[in-house]
Amino acid sequence: MKAFSAIVKLTLRNAVRSHVFQLLVGFLILCVGLVPTTVGGGTATDFIRVSLSYSLWGVGAILSLSALWVGCHVMSADIDSYQLHMVTAKPVSRVTVWLAKWAGVSILHLVLLLFSAAAIYGVVTWRFENGTFPEPEREKIRNEVLVGRRVFLPIQPDYQELAQERAKQKIIDRRKRGVSVDLSPKAQERLLKSCVKEIVTQASEIPPGRQRAWRFEHLPRDPGKPLFLRYRPYVGKVSSERQRMTRVHWFVGVPRPQQADAENAGTAAPKTAGRREYFMYPLTQTPEQVMSGEFHERMLRGEWGVVTPDNEVMLCVFNADPVQANHYYQPADGPKLLIKVTGFFGNYARGVLVLAMQIVLMAALSCAFGGFLTLPTAVFVTSSYLLFGAISIFMTDRDYYINGATDRVGQFVARWLLKVVIPLQAFDVTDLIAGGELVEWGNIWFLTWFYLLCRALPLVLIGIYFYWRRELGLAIRK
């Protein structure tokens, strides 16, 4: 144990002396000290949300880069400077040396993460408590940012099944018109993908003067807790360009036993979802004006009793655009329902834990490659491995927008790469924390098992093996 602790201390000392590490620590201090106090959005809610998101993301990125560099540096520097030659001459195994160096790199960066996260938390909460925000904005920040809320998504149709039915119908129609049909596997695949794209587009589109309903399942039935509706509409097309003010009218389904409340509200005719009847209760007396392309939230009070005995909620939106343009609602942008599970500190601590897992992962990979490669090669290989993961997750997300043979080949390669690489996007929870969305324990366990144990651990064991078997006599400075 003495040898282990001595190597950890030596690793910490060598890491602190690295000029690259000192430069990154300087950037970290600037990120913690300046970003939370200077960066912000237009409203008070955006001001807190953006400063929290940017500062946490910056801390995670800087510490990950630092762990990558320091891990590769401490492993290769000891070999190049012949320090490891003297250590291995003593009764200390190379596995112990490797574990001690990894522990030293991890401890150093986890301590920096702890202090940085505590500083960001203190600055954000201090700005909220001492800011000159009006009380409605303060209440909005408490409900939408400084909280941990579980997200519930609406039931989505089986797009593949619907696409297959549409593809069959298209083939029948073409044959009726006497048009030849290409039944080759590639042609059938292209037809199915085009049908999926059409169905997804139509499902997200609401023409002017029309409405669409969504059904949510498995919500907790708690009369005292309010629900929050989050959504982002687009006007004309799903793009951030040329978005403008529009009008929407939201309705929430009140189950039939509360018929008296619905009639007093002067609502529209009842709707039926499955075998249950709803009265659509308007959230506002008239269509409200909102900015398209931005997220909006509305509160559904607990005393309204919108959750059915089957733990379901029915929502409906009416397109009241003044110039008769289409509305678009992407599945990723809502509508979604959120309900409070924990406070801001608990959710923030979960997010910091995920960042700590990312830093430990970076330290392990860099030490694994740095143990048997030179410093430049180890940095290049580790960076390339992580970069492949980032690109692969981007390519697979474009499932319905693949055009041309090049995109199809790229997506095929990306899917195979995702079986072995680790996408760092999976560890990015800053948007969840800044949006008040809960960092689920299930997600943390998934990251631990699927990426740390099943993906990273085999690479680490391979790196330790090559480090153990490396011939130190071949490491000669020229």
pLDDT tens-digit map of 271-292: 554 456 778 888 888 999 999 9
Residue 295 confidence (pLDDT) above 50: yes
**Cα 94 to chain centroid, rounded:** 38
For residue 260, what pLDDT is reported?
44
Query: Which domains are seen in the chain, by residue range?
Result: 2-146+360-370+419-474 (no CATH), 207-342 (2.60.120)
Q: Would you call 272 helix, strand, or coil by DSSP?
A: strand
179 to each of 163, 170, 171, 188, how far by Cα in Å? 21, 11, 9, 15
- pLDDT category of residue 84 using cuts at 50, 70 and 90: low
pLDDT tens per residue, range 313-328? 999 999 999 999 999 9
CB contact set of 434 (below 8 Å; sequence gap of 6+): 49, 50, 52, 53, 56, 145
For residue 266, what pLDDT is reported?
41
219 to each of 15, 66, 228, 229, how far by Cα in Å? 49, 42, 12, 13
The pair of three-digit structure tokens given for residue 18, joined into one six-digit string: 């690295």
The pair of three-digit structure tokens given for residue 452, joined into one six-digit string: 């740390």
Tell me the HSE value of 362 on the side-chain side, using a 13 A CA sphere: 31
State the Cα–Cα distance between residues 431 and 354, nearest whole angstrom.
13
pLDDT tens per residue, range 126-161? 888 887 788 888 888 888 889 999 999 998 888 888
For residue 402, what pLDDT is reported?
53
Q: ω before 335 within 30° of 0 (cis)?
A: yes
Residue 300: φ, ψ to 5°: -110, 105
Q: Which residue has the higher pLDDT, 305 or 443?
A: 443
Cβ atoms 248, 211 nearer than 8 A:
no
What is the DSSP code (8-state) at residue 437?
B
- Tokens 């006599």 belong to 473
Residue 474 confidence (pLDDT) above 60: no
The pair of three-digit structure tokens given for residue 291, joined into one six-digit string: 């900015």
Q: Is the dihedral of CA 9, 14, 17, 21 positive or negative?
A: negative
State the Cα–Cα distance between residues 220 and 241, nearest whole angstrom.
38
For residue 407, what pLDDT is reported?
65
pLDDT tens per residue, range 18-51? 777 888 888 888 888 777 767 655 677 877 888 8
Q: Strand ranges (DSSP E) for 25-88?
A: none
Identify which of 237, 44, 215 has the alpha carbon closest to the alpha carbon of residue 143: 44
For residue 105, what pLDDT is reported?
92
DSSP codes of every residue in 241-265: TT--EEEEEEEEEEEGGGHHHHHHT
- Tokens 């797009």 belong to 159
Q: Would you call 342 helix, strand, or coil by DSSP?
A: strand
Q: Would you call 421 helix, strand, or coil by DSSP?
A: coil
State the Cα–Cα distance between residues 262 and 130, nearest whole angstrom.
42
State the Cα–Cα distance between residues 348 and 439, nearest whole angstrom.
8
Considering only 120-124, 192-196, 344-348, which range has the smallest mean pLDDT? 192-196
Cβ atoms 121, 57 nearer than 8 A:
no
Where would I find the H helices in 131-258?
A: 135-144, 159-176, 185-204
- Tokens 């000669």 belong to 476
Q: Would you call 430 helix, strand, or coil by DSSP?
A: helix
Identify which of 269, 253, 228 has the alpha carbon closest to the alpha carbon of residue 310: 253
pTM of this prediction?
0.83
Beta-ladder partners of 336: 230
State the Cα–Cα distance between residues 110 and 47, nearest whole angstrom.
28
pLDDT tens per residue, range 341-378? 999 999 999 999 999 999 999 999 999 998 888 888 99
Q: Would you call 472 helix, strand, or coil by DSSP?
A: helix
Considering only 1-15, 53-67, 241-255, 349-363, which range has the smallest mean pLDDT? 1-15
For residue 271, what pLDDT is reported?
55
Helix, strand counts (H, E) of the chain: 15, 13
Cβ atoms 57, 428 nearer than 8 A:
yes
Beta-ladder partners of 343: 147
Mean pLDDT of the chain, nearest integer: 83
- pLDDT category of residue 7 using cuts at 50, 70 and 90: confident
What is the DSSP code (8-state) at residue 311?
S
pLDDT tens per residue, range 384-421? 988 888 887 777 765 544 556 666 677 777 778 778 88
For residue 63, what pLDDT is reported?
92
The pair of three-digit structure tokens given for residue 17, joined into one six-digit string: 């002396």
End-to-end C-alpha distance for the chain, whole angstroms:
35
Residue 258 confidence (pLDDT) above 50: no
State the Cα–Cα distance between residues 329 and 292, nearest whole angstrom.
10
CB contact set of 222 (below 8 Å; sequence gap of 6+): 302, 339
